């Protein structure tokens, strides 16, 4: 076989097209001009942001003097709605929303530092959702259990708490429903947040070296098909939390570099604990969304697009549940969610949870709640709050 001879014509063509030629002077000059304009615009943006911040400081002074909550979900919704309606592109609405959430987070810090309680450990999906919703300028407190989030909100040790209430794959979160059942009237649903849950395979080894994977059983269930396809022989080890799974995988690799230990958790956990990201988005359902409740001691103001959450226990007689639900049907009220949990008082007695569209102070809803109460041993409005319209 004859050796391939160099094609001198093609080499000349390559050189002539700029392969080894010096940078185009006109292109560099244009880039310099564009970068200069960006720098000048950045200076104006910073000036405007600080001008806005000075107004925020004044707002904080008024709120503190009037005992008005620093964080107001209805105002948050209004700010985001206005910002995105003014967006003419090319930035997508999601980018604008991200910028404004961080901007509002910085505003909270100027008005009055906020402390947000979440279900830990750090790096959990509740922690990640808290950062996504409230931004990075507030303080976050790991409260270990969902019940602890309710307790610390009730005691005023944190300003607000974030608790998962339902997931599109796994359904309702029973620990949160039980916490509402036991909390009495001291906490309310102040807002809601819809957050996409993205599972990530994390390990400090190469993908082909993974032999054992740690995570919560619920997460394994949400990634079952992917795991069967990618790691059919890997040992799946249940953990109490996804954050703990990441910490365990790191410790095992530090003790034995051939252990092939990995974990499925949040990207935030990987950043916090120094574990590399091998694969993103390993969940079977790309629309894996968790709905979180923001809980507080105060009530949210109407936003013109609200939801109301109610918990009730019916009388123990035939048709009692039907009679309660019929009240809302006759009033033309849309029920968007219904679930039940054991009452915790008497065996085979249940507490029911419903979400409905509208605010508890709307005349038809206020009337329906009064009518439904007559058919219940107990009925409690957990809160009315702005309806989440975007998935974060």
H or E stretch at 52: helix 25-66
First to last CA, the chain: 61
Superfamily in which the 306-382 domain is placed by CATH: ACT domain (3.30.70.260)
Q: What pLDDT is recorded for position 15?
A: 44
- pLDDT tens digits along 358-388: 999 999 999 999 999 988 888 999 999 999 9
Residue 30 has pLDDT above 90, yes or no: no
Q: Smallest Cα–Cα separation from 304: which of 70, 63, 75?
A: 75
**200-203 and 277-279 as β-strands: parallel, antiparallel, unpaired?**
antiparallel
Q: What pLDDT is recorded for position 107?
A: 78
Residue 29 has pLDDT above 50, yes or no: yes
Residue 219 has pLDDT above 60, yes or no: yes
Please give the average per-residue pLDDT across 11-18, as a whole number. Answer: 45
Instruction: Give the C-alpha separation, 157 to 20, whole Å.
Output: 64
Min mean pLDDT across 38-42, 55-59, 64-68 is at 64-68
Please give the average per-residue pLDDT across 331-340, as a whole number. Answer: 92
Residue 81 has pLDDT above 50, yes or no: yes
CATH 3.60.15.10 fits 200-279, yes or no: no
- pLDDT tens digits along 285-315: 888 899 999 999 999 989 889 999 999 988 7
Angstrom distances, CA of residue 340 to CA of 95, 181, 314, 359: 38, 11, 11, 22
User: Does this chain's domain 42-190 share its CATH topology with 306-382?
Assistant: no
167 class by beta-carbon count within 10 Å (0-12 exposed, 13-18 middle, 19+ buried):
middle
DSSP 164: E
142 in Cβ contact with 127 (< 8 Å)? yes
- pLDDT tens digits along 260-281: 999 999 999 999 999 999 999 9
Q: Smallest Cα–Cα separation from 122: which of 151, 150, 143?
A: 143
**Which CATH code is given to the segment(s) 42-190?**
1.20.59.10
Annotated domain spans of the chain: 42-190, 200-279, 306-382
Instruction: Give the C-alpha separation, 352 to 177, whole Å.
Output: 9
Which is more confidently placed, 60 or 205? 205
**335-342 and 376-386 as β-strands: parallel, antiparallel, unpaired?**
unpaired
Instruction: Give the C-alpha separation, 113 to 158, whole Å.
Output: 11
- pLDDT tens digits along 47-60: 998 888 888 888 88
Which is more confidently placed, 109 or 357? 357
Residue 75 has pLDDT above 60, yes or no: yes
Q: Please, what is the average pLDDT of the chain?
A: 87
148 in Cβ contact with 118 (< 8 Å)? no
């Amino acid at each position: 076989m004859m050796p391939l001879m160099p094609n001198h014509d093609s080499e000349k063509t390559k050189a002539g097209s700029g392969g080894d030629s010096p940078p185009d002077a006109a292109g560099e000059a244009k880039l310099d001009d564009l970068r200069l304009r960006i720098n000048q615009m950045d200076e104006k943006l910073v000036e405007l942001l600080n001008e806005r911040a000075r107004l925020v400081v004044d707002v904080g002074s008024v709120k503190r003097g009037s005992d008005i909550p620093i964080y107001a979900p209805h105002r948050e919704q209004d700010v985001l709605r206005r910002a995105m309606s003014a967006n003419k592109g090319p930035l997508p609405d999601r980018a604008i929303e991200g910028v404004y959430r961080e901007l509002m987070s910085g505003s909270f810090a100027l008005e009055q530092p906020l402390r947000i309680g979440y279900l830990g450990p750090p790096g959990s999906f509740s922690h990640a959702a808290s950062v996504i919703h409230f931004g990075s300028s507030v303080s976050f407190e790991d409260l270990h259990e969902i019940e602890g989030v309710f307790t610390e909100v009730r005691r005023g040790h944190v300003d607000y708490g974030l608790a998962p209430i339902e997931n599109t794959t796994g359904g309702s979160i029973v620990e949160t429903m039980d916490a509402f059942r036991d909390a009495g009237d001291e906490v309310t649903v102040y807002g809601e947040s819809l957050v996409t849950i993205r599972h990530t395979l994390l390990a400090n080894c190469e993908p082909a070296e993974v032999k054992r994977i740690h995570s919560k059983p619920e997460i394994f269930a949400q990634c079952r098909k992917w795991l069967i396809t990618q790691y059919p022989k890997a040992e799946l080890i249940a953990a109490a939390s996804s954050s703990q799974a990441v910490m365990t995988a790191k410790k095992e690799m530090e003790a034995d570099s051939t252990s092939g230990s990995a974990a499925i958790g949040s990207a935030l956990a990987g950043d916090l604990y120094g574990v590399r990201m091998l694969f993103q988005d390993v969940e079977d359902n790309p629309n894996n969304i968790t709905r979180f409740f923001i809980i507080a001691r105060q009530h949210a103001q109407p936003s013109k697009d609200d939801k109301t959450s109610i918990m009730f226990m019916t009388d123990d007689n035939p048709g009692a549940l039907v009679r309660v639900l019929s009240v809302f049907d006759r009033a033309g009220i849309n029920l968007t969610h219904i679930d039940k949990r054991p009452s915790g008082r008497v065996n085979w007695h249940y507490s029911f949870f419903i979400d409905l569209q509208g605010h508890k102070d709307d005349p038809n809803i206020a009337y329906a709640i009064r009518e439904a109460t007559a058919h219940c041993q107990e009925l409690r409005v957990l809160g009315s709050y702005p309806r989440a319209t975007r998935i974060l």
